[in-house]
Chain A
């Protein structure tokens, strides 16, 4: 471990540890406590919004659930705060589950609007329920006790708050740096690629939603015992907006940026509340003007927030060596060459009156490379989507090893050992090349949230990363392993997608226009890679419009035009076929 790398973190923790014993004004401690509480919520929000792409304005409501749970139980029933801690977290999770089930199904901008709606509704609900003391709230909440010691003062609960902040921040970092984390990070690009490699999108969204809800509930639990009273105000929409502001200021994709963002916003708020009234002359919540302007300015000038700017001051993290793994991943047994593998039978897809794919039949045998070609608009991509489960068949069927695939989702199809690439490459530009490939091996691992949070899955993770590194070497991208995938050229990105597909240990590779945008030399390399795979027994179906590329490569060619199969056979024969020439060159048919 590089000493310069861990130094800032070490100094930070040391600073936090000694602040309360230094002769600082007491409001510093209060402020730091509030920053800690807000950081917890914001870390959840970073995972939810910044990483997962699900914008929520309603997180404050989850603090409310955590706070009210412990408030009611500890005042009315005298339950010990240590018992209400797990209960608060469970209530947070139990509420997040149904709310999340609805929320994550909302598409696009409906999702944040939905969070505004339930954020408001829950706030009003807190204020109407007798058990929760209506708008007056609940007071007289007992302090937390530990071995006879009562966390009464701001200075003592301070340590408790920051203990949880650091545990949650490290755990959240661990979670992101794991198999589950890759699935969550893949949500942002729409999740289509992740789904094609077996990630359950709804479950991944729900996981991160519940995580954010639980840490917000933890913040609420701490808040209730720090404040010793609760009322609905801090759990309303305006606090929800403030948490989002913190996440945006910090840079919504960074766990440590959450603490940074919370600090900036709360320190600024404190300064504004202290000095603005002197300038304007009255006391009121004027800081919201500054917050509003700050939010718009950051979006206009530095959309990734301020944490990336702060990161530039820290020494760069050296690329991590890929951990050596003693364990080998199990490999699929491939069907014997020549046996029927993928069979499309009278596949038909109609959009309204337009028939995009018109009763097309063809077959891919094990160990073959089959090309599916045709001019623009011929129905190639639609056929491809029918096989991969993205589009549903109007009639006809697709068989894999004799089993019909009808109605299977892309995720189920991935389980059969069918791996694909995309016509418009779907990679995660901010993730490293290696991590992008490791996403392909998602189904070959099994570690869940809990093990990932506490780093108990390192052995499995090492095998997955080692496998990804092997596939990268195989396609010749080994030297780019630690670079962000977004730095690669278009041609390399297409190859990266192939490596990702290989990491899934596929029986069939489905490649959607893999040669598009490649230069001549790159095409040659791709062709020899595919030939090598064929020798290893992997079958390939590739959609191409570039006949030059497929000519010397494929064993069998299928040509579509206007959704109809017009030729099917050996490449050399197909090239001489008059209707193929007419379809490609047009004119006198």
Chain B
């Protein structure tokens, strides 16, 4: 063990006959933000789902130096938490209930403490505690998804396209919150299509293309790599 919170080696995922991840390796140090960027369809979401245990994967996933537990629920208990691309909120339940359920595996006093912290961090949610989650705006929904995830007191937060479908101003807000979270000791694996913004707040970056890591390195270096431009916009005809 070498001090990494999460270590993926040679992760392969197939849907039916088609392999969509062809051996991805990646490491996250405690308290850091690692971003996985790449064009749509590169396999980024699949990677997060594999880490969370939603899709079966071949290869090894080491969490905190040991093999990660098998089921999704056991991974949540161990401190992994995914905020999926579609948020997957409980739309017909109140904001308060959504937040509360985030702490399903924590005891009442832990929940009470985290709840206070969260409502201080997200005053918008505190104002709308009684409102149904389905009636929130896009930005508020993303905040609620984050708050629900944080309620489980995660050590590693997996974020899938938190900026998707949000207006630029709100994207900036959300990413600010994400970068602040690092100071509370939470490590973050951030999957983003919005490459420039993600690389700005991340420590390390991985560029994934067609299910393989094409480039990796410190975020600042990756941001100016010409491969990035090509991966997103194709080579000029």
Which residues from chain B contact A547 at a C-beta distance below 8 Å? Answer: 39, 232-234
Q: What residue in chain B is nearest A377 (Cβ atoms)?
A: B165
B181 lies within 8 A of chain A by Cβ: no
B224 lies within 8 A of chain A by Cβ: no
A549 lies within 8 A of chain B by Cβ: yes
Which residues from chain A contact B235 at a C-beta distance below 8 Å? Answer: 548, 551
B177 lies within 8 A of chain A by Cβ: no
What is the CA–CA distance of A513 and B237 in the complex, to the nearest angstrom?
20
Residues 219-233 of chain B, each 1 if its beta carbon lies under 8 Å from chain A, else 0:
000000000111111
Closest approach, in angstroms, between the C-beta of A559 and any C-beta of chain B? 11
What is the CA–CA distance of A318 and B162 in the complex, to the nearest angstrom?
53
B73 lies within 8 A of chain A by Cβ: no
Check A376/B237 contact, CB under 8 A, given A517-B20, A545-B41, A586-B195.
no
Which residues B113-168 have CB closer than 8 A to chain A? 161, 163-165, 168
What is the CA–CA distance of A546 and B235 in the complex, to the nearest angstrom?
11
Q: What residue in chain A is nearest B233 (Cβ atoms)?
A: A547
Which residues from chain A contact B16 at a C-beta distance below 8 Å? Answer: 486, 490
Say whether B18 contacts A587, CB under 8 Å.
no
Say whether B237 contacts A571, CB under 8 Å.
yes
B194 lies within 8 A of chain A by Cβ: yes
Say whether A489 contacts B17, CB under 8 Å.
yes
What is the CA–CA distance of A585 and B38 in the complex, to the nearest angstrom?
9
Q: What residue in chain A is nearest B230 (Cβ atoms)?
A: A548
Q: What residue in chain A is nearest B223 (Cβ atoms)?
A: A587
B193 lies within 8 A of chain A by Cβ: yes
Which residues from chain A contact B233 at a C-beta distance below 8 Å? Answer: 547-548, 575, 580-581, 584-585
B197 lies within 8 A of chain A by Cβ: yes
Which residues A526-550 have CB closer than 8 A to chain B? 545-550
Which residues from chain A contact B89 at a C-beta distance below 8 Å? Answer: none
Say whether B17 contacts A376, CB under 8 Å.
no
A401 lies within 8 A of chain B by Cβ: no
Residues 64-107 of chain B, each 1 if its beta carbon lies under 8 Å from chain A, else 0:
00000000000000000000000000000000000000000000
Which residues from chain B contact A489 at a C-beta distance below 8 Å? Answer: 17-18
What is the CA–CA distance of A552 and B165 in the complex, to the nearest angstrom?
29
Which residues from chain A contact B15 at a C-beta distance below 8 Å? Answer: 490
Query: When the two chains form the complex, which single residue of A486, A517, A552, A586 contacts B41, counting CB atoms closer than 8 Å?
Result: A517
Check A376/B193 contact, CB under 8 A, given A548-B234, A585-B229.
yes
A340 lies within 8 A of chain B by Cβ: no
Closest approach, in angstroms, between the C-beta of B233 and any C-beta of chain A? 5
Q: What residue in chain A is nearest B15 (Cβ atoms)?
A: A490
Q: What residue in chain A is nearest B137 (Cβ atoms)?
A: A353
Check A587/B195 contact, CB under 8 A, given A519-B210, A551-B235, A575-B236.
yes
Say whether A575 contacts B234, CB under 8 Å.
yes
Which residues from chain B contact A550 at a C-beta distance below 8 Å? Answer: 234
What is the CA–CA distance of A176 and B100 in the complex, to the nearest angstrom?
54
Which residues from chain B contact A572 at a C-beta distance below 8 Å? Answer: 236-237
Say whether A549 contacts B234, CB under 8 Å.
yes
Query: When the two chains form the complex, which single residue of A375, A575, A580 contacts B193, counting CB atoms closer than 8 Å?
Result: A375
Closest approach, in angstroms, between the C-beta of B159 and any C-beta of chain A? 15
Query: When the two chains form the complex, which single residue of A520, A551, A589 contacts B237, counting CB atoms closer than 8 Å?
Result: A551
B29 lies within 8 A of chain A by Cβ: no
A155 lies within 8 A of chain B by Cβ: no
A488 lies within 8 A of chain B by Cβ: yes
Check A487/B17 contact, CB under 8 A, given A552-B237, A572-B237, A586-B197.
yes
Which residues from chain A contact B236 at a C-beta distance below 8 Å? Answer: 551, 572, 575
A267 lies within 8 A of chain B by Cβ: no
Which residues from chain B contact A487 at a C-beta distance below 8 Å? Answer: 17
Query: When the two chains form the complex, which single residue of A486, A546, A551 contacts B39, counting CB atoms closer than 8 Å?
Result: A546
B196 lies within 8 A of chain A by Cβ: yes
Say whether B17 contacts A377, CB under 8 Å.
no
Residues 499-519 of chain A, each 1 if its beta carbon lies under 8 Å from chain B, else 0:
000000000000001001101
Q: What residue in chain B is nearest A516 (Cβ atoms)?
A: B41
Q: What residue in chain A is nearest B171 (Cβ atoms)?
A: A586
Closest approach, in angstroms, between the C-beta of B44 and any C-beta of chain A? 11
What is the CA–CA distance of A520 and B193 in the complex, to the nearest angstrom?
21
Closest approach, in angstroms, between the C-beta of A268 and any C-beta of chain B? 36
Q: In this complex, which of A490, A549, A588 has the most chain B Cβ atoms within 10 angstroms of its Cβ?
A: A490
What is the CA–CA distance of A581 and B233 in the complex, to the nearest angstrom?
8
What is the CA–CA distance of A106 and B189 in the complex, to the nearest angstrom?
44
Closest approach, in angstroms, between the C-beta of A103 and any C-beta of chain B? 30
Say whether B17 contacts A585, CB under 8 Å.
no
B200 lies within 8 A of chain A by Cβ: yes
Check A587/B200 contact, CB under 8 A, given A377-B164, A490-B16, A546-B39.
yes
What is the CA–CA distance of A489 and B19 in the complex, to the nearest angstrom?
9
Say whether B234 contacts A551, CB under 8 Å.
yes
Which residues from chain B contact A575 at a C-beta distance below 8 Å? Answer: 233-234, 236
Which residues B186-223 have CB closer than 8 A to chain A? 192-198, 200, 210
What is the CA–CA distance of A487 and B194 in the complex, to the nearest angstrom?
36
Q: What residue in chain B is nearest A574 (Cβ atoms)?
A: B233
- List 6 A-B pairs, Cβ < 8 Å: A376-B164, A487-B17, A550-B234, A571-B237, A575-B233, A584-B233
Contact surface of B with A, Cβ cutoff 8 Å = 15-18, 20, 39-41, 161, 163-165, 168, 171, 192-198, 200, 210, 228-237
Contact surface of A with B, Cβ cutoff 8 Å = 375-377, 486-491, 513, 516-517, 519-520, 545-552, 571-572, 575, 580-581, 584-589
Minimum-distance CB pairs A-B, first 8: A587-B196, A548-B234, A586-B194, A490-B18, A552-B237, A547-B234, A551-B234, A545-B40
